[in-house]
Structure formats: structure tokens, C-alpha cells
Chains A and B, each alone.
Chain A
Amino acid sequence: MATVPVLSVNNLEVVYDDVVLVLRGLSLDVPDGSIVALLGANGAGKTTLLRAVTGLLVAHRGKITKGTVTVGGDDLTGADPADVVRRGVAQVMEGRRIFAEMSVEDNLRAGGHSRKRAEYREDVTRVYDLFPLLAQRRRGTAGYLSGGEQQMLAIGRALMARPKLLLLDEPSLGLAPRLVEQVRDIVVQINGQGTSVLLVEQNAVMALSIASYGYVLEVGKVVRDGPAAELLDDEDIREFYLGSTPDSGRRSFAEVKSYRRKKRWSA
């Protein structure tokens, strides 16, 4: 038996507005010190899973109706977001969500909200070491940073909580390929410093290229999981979640077969 996983989700069910069932018995583990990729189409429940872990479901009228979430062996099912952060789980939300009106430094201060005052210096130095650019712009207003810089700030802000586990929600979304690569390198670097990472991505190539293990989600359930390399090679996965690779000879979208309906369109 290996060490306790840093995050373990068991048979989780989540319901929004008391009606919409979004996760239906989802289980996954993030082993300590690893990068785990979570793939799936829009609406598969990836973001919901992250919310269920961090307690942010409350902000969306969602509720865990079944299952457990444990962090380092402690049960945190349905815990208050502040507690979750204090237990060492930090999240970089989709769309970055930096505090655009505040300065870069104030963003980082907010990120360190759960930490003791005395530790702030040390934490912020660590982040500035990782992102020297943020140190240059520390007094600048965060909203004026470029898209890539904002993503760095969002990650830096999450690191201010000194997390054991970092949850990254679509960090490559809306970034040019060059920036995606930068983000990928940063994630590897962070992981190298001992932080486990759960990486939610649409960009499956990017995610699987750095992850050790991957899960594929479809309508709230894990439909496939395995070592990242194995998933990268799997034909079905390639077809449905990666699209084509240069040599797979996919058919053109212009030629997708269209069956006729009973009635003709008439303008």
C-alpha cells in the first residue's frame, strides 16, 4: 500500500438547485506529489468536481448528496471553502478570476488570506521567484496585465496559500500556443517543488504530456482512466477527446454525413 493520496474522491454525487444531477458516483485519486489530468467535454462535470472539492458549490446552489471527499486522509466533504484552503488545497479558477481592480501585490495578499501574517514575506518571495515578472509589476493594477500574465498571477495567488494540492481549471483556455507552453512549464516546475496538481483541461495533449495519470469524464462519470501515456495512445480517446493527430486521416467536417429529414427547409 502506497502513501495516502493527497486527494481522494469517492462515489461523489452532486446536485444543483435540488434537481440537476451533475456528478453521478464519481471517484478519483490524486497520489501525493503527482500531476493528474482530468479530461472531458464541456458540461462533463469537471468544474463541478473542483467546486465539490473546494466547497465552492455553495456559490452555485449545488450540494453533495452522496460520497466523500478526503484530503490527505481527512474527510472534507462539504467543508467550508476557507477550511479547505487552510487544509492545503488551492484552486486556480477557470477564466483566471483575478481581482482586476486591485494591485498585483494585493491579489497575492488575498491569496495568502489563510496564512499567518508572519509567513507572508516568505510566501510572497517564493511566488516572485517563480514569476519574476509579477515582482516587476507588483504595484500595477492587475487588470492591466496581459492574458498570460494574468494567468501567472492567478497561479501565483493560489500558491500564496502554500497548497499541498493545486487544482487548475483550464489554465490554457484562451491562450496562444506559445503561452500554453509557458503555463505547462510552470505547472511542471510547481510540481517539482512538491505540490500535487489536479489539472483540468480541454487541451488534452498538453495535459497528458505532463500528467502521470489521467481520467476521462463524461456526463458526470469517469468513463476511462489510466496512465497518461496509455491514454495518449488509446484510439477511442484520440478519436473523441483529442481530435485527430496529423497521421490519423480524419474525415473533413464538410463531409459529415447528413441524413435528410422529412420536411424541406424553405425560407
Chain B
Amino acid sequence: MTEPLLDVWDLTLRFGGVTALNGVSFTVGRGELFAVIGPNGAGKTSIFNCLNGVYRPQRGTITLAGQRVNGRSPATIAGMGVARTFQNLGLFEQLTLIENLMLGRHHLMRTGMLAGMAWWGRAKREEVDHRAACEEIVELLELEPYRRIPAGLLPYGVAKRAELGRALAMSPTLLLLDEPVAGMNVEETEDMARYLVEVRRELDLAMILVEHDTRLVMDLADRVLALDFGTPIAMGTPEEVQHDPKVVEAYLGGAA
């Protein structure tokens, strides 16, 4: 792998007395699908929150395509091409699906308050152009029947997909997926897996996947990082990690 897209070095995050992340380092190459696994409370979501600026890590650096990420605001980082889905659905419930997608394109648009009021010139052109871009995502993710439905009323599986759609609408270079198949049955999981595979194939996009469903991770990921209580315990190909004794001990416990 040549120069990585994302370089995370020695990330350490503490809340009060609790250490959520402890010296986490990894890189993600362009077009790579990188997965983070670990039992609950291992700090998986904390990595995401550091990556997009919601949390400020006490130590460590995050570099995206040569630019420093940590210390910047979430909105700035989003503008740098980091998109994300949320564990507990971060859709804006009262906005329709298409409005949620359009929000994904917010940082690519320029219309300000006054221009928006006037609905004139660029404001109108922008709305039309970006709407077209969103429609392509609607089509890719087969969301056609739900365009005008408020996100809060979408069925769970569709909402998860819509969130993926919004992240894609941001035209990201790095996509962070926080438990995209949590609470889904096998059929729905397969659907989601298909979309992920397809997105990966169609777009030259790096992804980081945080997931409980180890089967999905093992099937899709190029490389896997295993965490336990914020500390990295193994990194490598799915097979390597799967058979690492420390991972078996920490994650799968005696039940494996």
C-alpha cells in the first residue's frame, strides 16, 4: 500500500478517570475497507467521535490525505470529506428523506440565508443540480418510494439505508459506518452488505466499519483492528485477527 489516506497515531482519549482509547494507531489506505471490532465499551464509537471532531483526544494525531484532522470542528472535518453514519440513527426525523440527502450535500453548496430567501440565480440552480445528485443515490440505494416521507416514519431498515445514502451524498473520501446492520435480521443484513459491496465497487472510497456482527466484518473487511477496553490487541487480515488468542479470549470469551 502506498501513502495511506488516513493515518491515526497514538490516539488517547479520557473522560474523567476513564480511559476510552489508549494509544490507538492504524492507517487506512485509499479504497480500503477497514474494520474495528471489540466488545461493548471497547471504544469503537469513540474512535469515530475523534475522527470527526466530536471528541477532542488528549493525545495523538489524525491525518487525512496529508492534512491534520484533530483539533478541527466537526463541520470542517465533514468538509474535508469524512462522512459518517450513526449507531442509533442520526437522521433528522422531521425532514423528508430527500431533504436528509440534500443536507448531506450541504457542505458542497453555497447558498446563504439571503440568497435562499430570494430563490434566485445560483440558489435555484444549486437546488436543482444537487437534487439531481441526490436522485442518483436514491436510485443506487433503491429509496424511490420514500422520497417525501419524513425520516422519522421510515421503517428501520430503510432508515439505516437512508443514513448510508446521506453519508454518500456528502461525496466523501472516507466513510465511517457505525454498526450499519445492528438490529437487522439476516435478510436485511444481506441487503445492507450488498449495498456496501456495491458502493465500494462503484466509488473509490475508503471505509471504516465498526460492527458487532463479526461475520459481516470477516466477510467484507480488508483489515481488522480489535480493541479491548480502548487498547488495541490485534490488527491484521480477518483470518489473522479471528484466530488471535487475545481476541478469542477478550471478545468471544468462553462461549466461542
Q: Which of B184, B219, B256 contacts A41 (CB 8 A)?
A: B184
Give A228-244 as 1s and 0s: 1 = Cβ < 8 Å from B's Cβ atoms. 00000000000111011
Residues B252 and A177 in contact, CB atoms below 8 Å apart:
yes
Quick check: is A261 within 8 A (CB to CB) of the other chain? yes
Quick check: is A15 within 8 A (CB to CB) of the other chain? no
Which residues of chain A come closer than 8 Å to B112, judged between CB atoms? Answer: none
Which residues of chain A come closer than 8 Å to B255, judged between CB atoms? Answer: 177-178, 180-181
CA distance A261 to B185 in the complex (A): 24
Q: How far is the CB of A255 from chain B (nearest CB, A)?
A: 8
Q: Which of A211-264 contact B (CB under 8 A)?
A: 239-241, 243-244, 252-254, 256-258, 261, 263-264
Residues B215 and A253 in contact, CB atoms below 8 Å apart:
yes
Q: Which of A31-78 contact B (CB under 8 A)?
A: 41-43
B39, B186, B189, B252: most-surrounded residue (chain A CB, <10 A): B186
CA distance A147 to B256 in the complex (A): 21
Which residues of chain A come closer than 8 Å to B189, judged between CB atoms? Answer: 253
CA distance A257 to B187 in the complex (A): 12
Size class of the B contact interface (CB-based, 8 Å): 35 or more
The number of residues on chain A lying at the interface, defined by a beta carbon within 8 Å of a beta carbon of chain B, is 29
Which residues of chain B come closer than 8 Å to A253, judged between CB atoms? Answer: 189-190, 193, 197, 215-216, 219-220
Residues B251 and A256 in contact, CB atoms below 8 Å apart:
no
Quick check: is A174 within 8 A (CB to CB) of the other chain? yes
Q: How far is the CB of A251 from chain B (nearest CB, A)?
A: 9
Which residues of chain B come closer than 8 Å to A174, judged between CB atoms? Answer: 40
A-side interface mostly: loop
Beyond the given pairs A253-B219, A256-B194, 5 more chain A to chain B contacts, judged by CB atoms under 8 angstroms and listed by A's residue number, are A43-B156, A178-B254, A240-B185, A253-B215, A253-B216
Q: How far is the CB of A64 from chain B (nearest CB, A)?
A: 22
Which residues of chain B come closer than 8 Å to A8, judged between CB atoms? Answer: none
Which residues of chain A come closer than 8 Å to B187, judged between CB atoms? Answer: 240
Which residues of chain A come closer than 8 Å to B202, judged between CB atoms? Answer: 264-265, 267
- Listed in ascending order, the chain B residues whose CB lies under 8 Å from chain A are 39-41, 136, 139-140, 142, 155-157, 171, 183-190, 193-194, 197-198, 202-203, 215-216, 219-220, 251-256
Q: Which of A41, A180, A181 contacts B188 (CB 8 A)?
A: A41
Residues B139 and A263 in contact, CB atoms below 8 Å apart:
yes
Quick check: is A202 within 8 A (CB to CB) of the other chain? yes
Residues A176 and B40 in contact, CB atoms below 8 Å apart:
yes
By beta carbon, the residue of chain A nearest B203 is A267
CA distance A257 to B202 in the complex (A): 15
CA distance A243 to B140 in the complex (A): 27
Q: Which of B39, B41, B142, B197 contacts A256 (CB 8 A)?
A: B197
Contact A252 B253, CB 8 Å, known A41-B188, A258-B197: no
Residues B251 and A176 in contact, CB atoms below 8 Å apart:
yes
Q: List 29 A-B contacts (CB under 8 A).
A: A41-B185, A41-B188, A42-B157, A147-B41, A175-B40, A176-B39, A176-B251, A177-B251, A177-B253, A178-B255, A181-B253, A202-B183, A241-B186, A243-B215, A244-B215, A253-B190, A253-B197, A253-B215, A253-B216, A254-B197, A258-B198, A261-B139, A263-B136, A263-B139, A265-B136, A265-B202, A266-B136, A267-B171, A267-B203
